[in-house]
Structure 1
Amino acid sequence: MGSEREREGAAGSSATQEFVTRVGGRIRALRKRRGWSVQQLAEAGRVSRRMLTDIELGQANPSLATVDRVARALDTDFAALALPERAAADEQVEGVVVWQAPDGSQALLLGATQAPRAELWRWTLAPGGHYEAEPDRPGAQEVHHVLSGRLTLALEAGPQVLAPGQSAVIATDQEYAYRNDGAEPAVFVRVVTGA
């Protein structure tokens, strides 16, 4: 799995250090609580032992799909690892930047529900920006709603372009990507279910 490390940090994008540190610490704590070795969790999460060690130490640049696989192996979810502790009922939460690229593209996790599991995201893709996703488990879906710019959903069946005010629902148990082929930033809301 030596190429996994290269693939995880590909395309000049990265998770924020705050996100990486929070996720790594929570993964390590949950692993130890279960009494699992790094190797046991690595196998259950389908990630290399070296990558998992780097994630726990806050030194890796894991893909969102890698964090999701490890979360599922620990019987939790992506949002439980990524979001800060619950705020007081009257406190405003602005979300957590979990992915960003040098061009200004970023993914902000705004919140999540437990049952049924759903995540609410706000994405910004700079002109020419893109994000390559990994397939989710069967039955997973995403709802996208474009606020500004144009979003291209690169799907196995072909590209789907959404303009401001347009929405689409896609199955994410396939290879897919987000692209901004336009001249202005593409800003969209993303809701993930079943992942």
Structure 2
Amino acid sequence: MGAERTDEGALSEGFLAQVGARVRSARTEQGLTVQQLADRAEISRRLLTQVEHGQANPSLVSITRVARALGTELTELLDPLRPSGAISVVEAGAEVLVWSDEGGSSAHLLVATSHGRAADLWRWRLEPGAGYQGLADPAGSQELFHVLEGELTLTADDDRVVVRAGSSARLLSDRAYRYANAGATACVFVRTVALSGAR
């Protein structure tokens, strides 16, 4: 599977605890053993056990693989994003810190659609030199970006594009892709993930 991982950094403890409990619950509801789910997700049994107990430091890609092996997506494993009515508000500070590194880079899941996970909205901050190598999404999936500060380098197939502050971009994410900050200052951007074939 190669280097499909968050380049550096760690998933937040709160995120890991919440996702771990939900993974364990979903696995048992589906009647799967730890080994069966690990095989489906193409990760080790040991890592899956640690994920379920909130003790591992897996990549964001590994957690995505586990979610997909359970027939769901990462955002569907998070309680705060579940809607409570026709309008749901995630108050400032209540977004989910999913990933961060020691250099100050971070990824916050702001809000997600319900019932089929058609799209989710993220806020990322990448410090100079930081990047993310993504796992290919289902065929037809796309990601939308709007750069608020700095510049973001997007790479997919043989294309490499620099998106500067104030500009937006669309990325076909059903293939290997990467985004990085090759600039000299922090890059802040919002990202919408729209998976094809959402349930």
Could you tell me the TM-score, scaled by structure 1's length?
0.87
Q: 2:41 aligns with which of 41, 45, 64?
A: 45
Q: Give percent identity, aligned residues only.
A: 43
1:110 counterpart SS class:
strand
Residue in structure 1 matched with residue 91 of structure 2 by the alignment: 92
Structure-2 separation of matches of 1:145 and 1:169: 9
The offset of 1:84, in angstroms, is 2.7
Q: Please identify, of 152-161 and 79-88, the stretch whose mean Cα deviation from structure 2 is larger.
A: 79-88
1:58 counterpart SS class:
coil
Q: Retained in 2: the 8 A contact 1:98–1:109?
A: yes
Deviations 1:2-27 (A, max 9, x none): xx9xx688743110111111111110
Structure-2 separation of matches of 1:116 and 1:32: 22
Q: Retained in 1: the 8 A contact 2:76–2:117?
A: no
1:31 counterpart SS class:
helix
The offset of 1:73, in angstroms, is 2.2
Residue in structure 2 matched with residue 185 of structure 1 by the alignment: 186
User: Residues 4-23 of structure 1 correspond to what in structure 2 (within 5 A)?
Assistant: 11-23=7-19
How many residue pairs get aligned? The number is 191
2:64 counterpart SS class:
helix
Q: Compared with structure 1, are the counterparts of its residues 54 and 31 closer, same or farther at alpha carbon in structure 2 (3 Å cutoff)?
A: same
The offset of 1:85, in angstroms, is 6.1
Moved over 3 A (4+): 7-12, 85-91
User: Structure 1: which amino acid aligns with 2:70?
Assistant: L
Residue in structure 1 matched with residue 155 of structure 2 by the alignment: 154
Structure-1 separation of matches of 2:15 and 2:81: 13
Q: Retained in 2: the 8 A contact 1:31–1:41?
A: yes
Deviations 1:58-102 (A, max 9, x none): 121222222222212223221121353647656625311101111
Q: Retained in 2: the 8 A contact 1:145–1:168?
A: yes
Provide the aligned C-alpha RMSD in A: 2.4
Residue in structure 1 matched with residue 122 of structure 2 by the alignment: 121
Structure 2 residue runs without a partner (length 5+): none
Q: Please identify, of 96-105 and 114-123, the stretch whose mean Cα deviation from structure 2 is larger.
A: 114-123
Deviations 1:97-156 (A, max 9, x none): 101111100100001113452110000001222122222222121001101111111222
Q: Retained in 1: the 8 A contact 2:34–2:45?
A: yes
User: Structure 2: which amino acid aligns with 1:173?
Assistant: D
1:12 counterpart SS class:
coil
Q: Please identify, of 49-58 and 38-47, the stretch whose mean Cα deviation from structure 2 is larger.
A: 38-47
Q: Retained in 2: the 8 A contact 1:123–1:187?
A: yes
Could you tell me the TM-score, scaled by structure 2's length?
0.85
Q: Compared with structure 1, are the counterparts of its residues 96 and 116 closer, same or farther at alpha carbon in structure 2 (3 Å cutoff)?
A: closer
User: Within the alignment, does 1:27 sit opposite 2:23 as a pair?
Assistant: yes
Structure-1 separation of matches of 2:152 and 2:27: 38
Residue in structure 2 matched with residue 64 of structure 1 by the alignment: 60
Structure 1 residue runs without a partner (length 5+): none
